[in-house]
């Protein structure tokens, strides 16, 4: 029995030793596996962070794409469809009012209209290259400026579109024959320059100011004749012109409203002394692109040859007013509120 017991003890010792070694092996393998899993977990976290970062960046890019206006298709004031693939960066114009709107929205031009008065508005635009005027465009300068957008007039520059497009420019034709036109221009340039917030603020400011100016209504409208003098002739402004529109807003009645339009200048009418004498306006307002006072003197000299001219109420009461060139010699753009204020104050001060 002792031998058996002795053999059993030896086997037990070997077994126990084996089991201890096996346990130690399992323990070591388990630790390695945990370490491996831990390392794996860290990699998964890093991968997740990177994925989130990429997704956030992608979302940011998607947001930029969604807020971009381009490609952008617009209809200009000649009802022409024009598509811009990207934001215009080198703009040239022969229209002073449009240039003022662009600067009012925070933009700029590289080519500007020639100034008839020697004053450039705003002053910041004076550094831009002079490219001429609507009926005298310097195409060579425009090409040298590497312009990508040209702004012209709906009636005066329509025939120039093919030449300008051949130079690689997007051409936009505009007009400013009413307060509504100017509001539409501001909206259009807000889109083209990607400055919609600035455009909305400017429009709100103009509309609020106009409302304040026109708060007091006239009971009896002043009957006015609005004249536009050139070197060759004097025309009567119709309600369809910008000055005609402003006079109506200010509470005046245009005595030339039924005169036939001129083919060349559809917002003006041929001056008929017979019709003027018949209408007998309370006041006559005069404006010109150049020296309005000189043009008025020339006009009065012609009219004085007819004795009936001195019988007009406007002449007898000395209600002949020269309109400021900077507000009426051309479209004043955002300064239209200043033009309207001038008319309202002038009409209110008349004696007749």
Query: Which residues fall within 8 angstroms of residue 252, CB to CB, at 6 or more apart?
Result: 221, 222, 223, 224, 343, 347
Q: What is the DSSP string of 153-190?
A: ETTTSGGGHHHHHHTT-EEEEE--SSHHHHHHHHHHHH
What mean pLDDT comes out for the span 38-56? 43
Residue for token pair 């960046």 = 57
Q: What is the DSSP letter of 265?
A: S
What's the average model confidence in pLDDT over 104-127? 94
Looking at residue 121, what is its pLDDT?
94
The pLDDT tens digits for 212-227 are 999 988 888 999 999 9
CA distance 123 to 221: 38
Q: Which residues pair with 52 in a beta bridge?
A: none
Q: What is the pLDDT of residue 70?
A: 92
Give the mean model confidence (pLDDT) for residues 25-32. Answer: 44
Count the Cβ atoms, other than its own, within 10 Å of residue 225: 23
Q: Looking at 25-39, 190-204, 311-325, which range is the least confident one? A: 25-39
Residue 62: predicted pLDDT: 45
The per-residue pLDDT for range 124-142, each reduced to its tens digit, is: 999 999 999 999 999 999 9
| CA 297 – CA 303 distance, rounded (Å) | 10
**Higher-scoring residue by pLDDT: 300, 12:** 300
Report pLDDT for 14: 41
Q: Write down the pLDDT at residue 7.
A: 42
pLDDT in tens, 146-204: 999 999 999 999 999 999 999 999 999 999 999 999 999 999 999 999 999 999 999 99
Mean pLDDT of 295-315: 85
The whole-number pLDDT of residue 67 equals 53
- pLDDT, one tens digit per residue, over 226-262 is 999 876 788 999 999 999 999 999 999 999 999 999 9
Q: Give the residue with greater pLDDT, 35 vs 268.
A: 268
What's the pLDDT score for residue 239?
96
Task: Using the predicted structure, report yes or no on whether residue 333 has a pLDDT greater than 70.
Answer: yes
Phi, psi of 149 (to 5 degrees): -150, 135
* 94-123 average pLDDT score: 94
Q: What is the pLDDT of residue 190?
A: 97
Instruction: Supply the pTM of this predicted model.
Output: 0.79
Residue 66: its pLDDT value, please? 45
Residue 44 confidence (pLDDT) above 60: no
336-345 mean pLDDT: 97
Structure-block tokens of residue 253: 């009645």
Phi-psi region of 221 (alpha: psi -120 to 50; beta: other; left: phi over 0): beta
* Mean pLDDT, rounded, for 47-64: 47
pLDDT higher than threshold 60 for residue 123: yes
């Amino acid at each position: 029995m002792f031998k058996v017991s002795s053999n059993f003890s030896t086997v037990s010792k070997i077994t126990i030793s084996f089991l201890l070694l096996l346990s130690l092996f399992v323990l070591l393998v388990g630790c390695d596996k945990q370490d491996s899993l831990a390392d794996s977990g860290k990699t998964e976290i890093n991968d997740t962070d990177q994925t989130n970062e990429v997704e956030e960046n992608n979302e940011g890019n998607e947001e930029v794409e969604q807020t971009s206006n381009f490609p952008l298709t617009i209809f200009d004031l000649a009802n022409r469809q024009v598509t811009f693939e990207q934001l215009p960066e080198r703009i040239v114009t022969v229209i002073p009012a449009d240039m003022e709107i662009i600067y009012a929205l925070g933009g700029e031009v590289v080519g500007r209209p020639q100034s008839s008065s020697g004053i450039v508005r705003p002053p910041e635009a004076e550094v831009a290259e002079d490219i001429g005027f609507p009926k005298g465009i310097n195409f060579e300068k425009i090409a040298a400026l590497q312009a990508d957008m040209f702004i012209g007039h709906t009636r005066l520059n329509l025939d120039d579109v093919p030449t300008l497009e051949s130079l690689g420019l997007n051409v936009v034709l505009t007009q400013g024959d009413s307060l509504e036109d100017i509001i539409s221009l501001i909206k259009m340039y807000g889109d083209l320059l990607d400055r919609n917030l600035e455009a909305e603020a400017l429009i709100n400011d103009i509309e609020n100011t106009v409302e304040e100016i026109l708060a007091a209504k006239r009971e009896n409208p002043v009957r006015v004749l609005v004249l536009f003098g050139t070197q060759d002739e004097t025309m009567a402004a119709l309600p369809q012109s910008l000055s005609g529109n402003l006079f109506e807003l200010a509470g005046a009645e245009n005595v030339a409203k039924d005169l036939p339009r001129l083919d060349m200048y559809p917002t003006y009418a041929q001056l008929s002394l017979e019709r003027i004498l018949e209408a007998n306006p309370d006041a006559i307002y005069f404006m010109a692109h150049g020296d309005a006072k000189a043009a008025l003197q020339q006009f009065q000299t012609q009219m004085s040859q007819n004795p009936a001219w001195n019988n007009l109420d406007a002449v007898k009461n000395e209600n002949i007013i020269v309109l400021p060139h900077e507000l009426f010699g051309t479209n004043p753009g955002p300064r239209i509120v200043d033009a309207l204020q001038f008319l309202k104050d002038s009409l209110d001060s008349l004696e007749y």
